[in-house]
Structure 1
Amino acid sequence: MIALSLDDDGVATVTLDRAAARNALPTTAWRTLAQIVADVPDTARVLVIASRVPGIFSAGADLADLARLVEDVPARAAFRCAMAAAMEAIRARAMPVVAWVDGGCFGAGVALALACDLIVASPAAHFAIPPARLGIGYPAPDVARLAARLGQGQAARLLFTAAPIDAGEAWRIGLVDMIADGADIARSIAQNDAAALRLLKRTLRDASAPALNDAFESSFSSPAFAAGVARYRRTP
């Protein structure tokens, strides 16, 4: 259902592979996703969240699994916490994390993409957040990330209308960072220095942290910088 691979270039890929359910994830799968993401080796330079199923990134939460929440009240919190754990596991990784959306991305699948640092979509990508049609809400942290990325107006549009948008519209409103091949973007990231990537990610997350000033100054002592300066000096 969920697999992890690591190539020689330092690109780790977590792939969703539940074709029969269009990569819809039940509670147990969210827990598995959290554990697999946490298990990504620290040697990875970049992590990609992608799908192995053609035409779909994720249909979100598994409605067959959610149906039991009508009567199983304790299971409601278990589902919410399992989903939150997966998002926080992604956000906790020190390396850049790329969501590679090729095809449909719906509901909790959008929340999954929002947990990543960069959302790359193919021209075939399309998005919708349909809980309003189902009579339920959307987790508060995911609403906050959606609003932070899009602004209140566009976040409200997606949540209140539940209407689908294509890749071009997603890029226009800022839900998608670029329309490209996610694997190519990941390889271009992996060509860079791992320590520098992690420092830049920390800075993007909280540029006001005092320790970042020392970290920036210390980066000039890195072997990668010394090698880069040496190459520059040898350039005619």
Structure 2
Amino acid sequence: MIALSLDDDGVATVTLDRPAARNALPTAGWRQLAEVVAGVPDAARVVVIASAVPGVFSAGADLADLARLVDDVPARAAFRLAMADAMEAIRARAMPVVAWVDGGCFGAGVALVLACDLIVASPAARFAIPPARLGIGYPAPDVARLAARVGQGQAARLLFTAAPIDADEAARIGLADLIADGAETARGIARNDADALRLLKRTLRDPAAPGLDSAFEASFSSPAFAQGVARYRQTP
């Protein structure tokens, strides 16, 4: 269902591979995603979450699995918490996490990419959040992340209309950060210093966090900076 690989450049790829369900994840799938992401080796410089299924990133939560929540009341919280654990596992990684959306990204699939640091869309990407059509809500932390990304009005549009948008529109409103090849974007990130990437991610996530000023100052002692200065001095 979900695989993990790490290449020699330090790019860890978490691959969704459930073609029969268009990468829709049941409760167990969200738990597996949390475990796989948490298991990314610390040696990774960047993580890419991508799909092995052509034309689709993720259809979101598995409706066949959700159907049982009509009668199985305790399973409702288990599903919500499994999703939340997966998002938190993504957000907790120290290295940058890139969502590579090449195809349809719907429902809980949008929640998944919102947990990432960077959302890269292919020209074939499409996004929609359809729970209003199903008569259900959307987890509060995911609504908050959506509104923080695209603003209250665009979040309301996506949630209330449940209408799909294409890659260009997603980029226009800020749901996608750029339209490009996600794997190439990740390789470009991986060419940079791992410690600097982690410090920059910490600073982006919480600029008021304690210790960032001293960490910034300490970064001038890094081997990468010393090498960069040496190269600069050697440049005619």
TM-score by structure 1 length?
A: 1.00
- For these two proteins, the number of residue pairs brought into alignment is 236
Provide, for residues 5-29 of structure 1, a one-character-per-residue CA deviation record: whole Å limited to 9, x for no partner. Answer: 0000000000000000000000000
- Asked if 1:74 is matched to 2:74, the reply is yes
C-alpha distance in structure 2 between counterparts of 1:117 and 1:210, whole Å: 21
Letter in 1 for 2:89: A
Unpaired runs of 5+ in structure 1? none
SS in 1 for 2:32: helix
Partner of 1:209: 209
C-alpha distance in structure 1 between counterparts of 2:78 and 2:53, whole Å: 27
Partner of 2:107: 107
C-alpha distance in structure 1 between counterparts of 2:104 and 2:131, whole Å: 16
C-alpha distance in structure 1 between counterparts of 2:162 and 2:106, whole Å: 10
Letter in 2 for 1:28: A
Letter in 2 for 1:207: P
* CA positional deviation for 1:210: 3.0
Partner of 1:161: 161
* CA positional deviation for 1:209: 1.8
Pairing of 1:11-50 with structure 2 (within 5 A) = 11-50=11-50
Unpaired runs of 5+ in structure 2? none
Greater shift in the superposed pair: 45-54 or 201-210: 201-210
Misfit runs of 4+, over 6 Å: none
C-alpha distance in structure 2 between counterparts of 1:2 and 1:209, whole Å: 33
Q: How many percent of aligned residue pairs carry the same amino acid?
A: 86
Partner of 1:58: 58
C-alpha distance in structure 1 between counterparts of 2:111 and 2:196, whole Å: 27
Provide, for residues 207-230 of structure 1, a one-character-per-residue CA deviation record: whole Å limited to 9, x for no partner. Answer: 112310000000000011111111
Letter in 1 for 2:82: A
Partner of 1:121: 121
Letter in 1 for 2:43: T
C-alpha distance in structure 2 between counterparts of 1:221 and 1:170, whole Å: 40
Partner of 1:181: 181
TM-score by structure 2 length?
A: 1.00
SS in 2 for 1:105: strand
* CA positional deviation for 1:185: 0.3
C-alpha distance in structure 2 between counterparts of 1:105 and 1:141, whole Å: 18
C-alpha distance in structure 2 between counterparts of 1:95 and 1:191, whole Å: 13
Provide, for residues 175-233 of structure 1, a one-character-per-residue CA deviation record: whole Å limited to 9, x for no partner. Answer: 00000000010000000000000000000011112310000000000011111111111
Letter in 1 for 2:207: A
